[in-house]
């Protein structure tokens, strides 16, 4: 399957667009010339993909995850971690989540939050 068609179909499913509405969208984009995305020009396919991507509902991060990422950012600003990114935070937190991705380890979020809070509040001692 053409990668663009595959992307359109994936976006269609993600946006919850049924086949009847999909055909209507294709007809509208093509000016009534076709009812299949394979009959669209590349520009029309891109326009359809963009339309579907804009219709996909945005998922809000759970409050506990927002707090974890916020604490990580505070650690970075305090110079206690090198990289202020979600990826760096996720990589660090996997150690405390039995190897699970942070997003999929809801049962560990409270413990991770406490670890990050303690780290943030820890005073660095100079052993020189």
pLDDT digits (tens, 9 = 90+) for 58-83: 778 899 999 999 999 999 999 999 88
Q: How far is CA 74 from CA 62, 71, 86, 104, in A?
A: 19, 5, 13, 23
- Sites in the chain below the pLDDT cut of 50: 126-128
Give the predicted TM-score (pTM) of the model.
0.54
**Burial grade of 18 (CB within 10 A; 0-12, 13-18, 19 or more):** exposed
Confidence at residue 56, expressed as pLDDT on a 0 to 100 scale = 77
């Amino acid at each position: 399957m053409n990668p663009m068609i595959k992307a359109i179909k994936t976006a269609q499913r993600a946006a919850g667009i049924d086949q009847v509405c999909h055909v209507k969208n294709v007809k509208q984009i093509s000016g009534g010339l076709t009812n299949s995305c394979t009959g669209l020009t590349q520009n029309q396919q891109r326009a359809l993909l963009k339309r579907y991507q804009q219709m996909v509902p945005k998922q809000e991060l759970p409050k506990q995850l927002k707090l974890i990422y916020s604490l990580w950012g505070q650690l970075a600003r305090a110079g206690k971690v090198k990289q202020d990114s979600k990826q760096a935070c996720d990589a660090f937190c996997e150690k405390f989540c039995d190897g699970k991705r942070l997003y999929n380890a809801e049962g560990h979020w409270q413990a991770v939050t406490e670890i990050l809070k303690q780290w943030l509040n820890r005073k660095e001692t100079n052993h020189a």
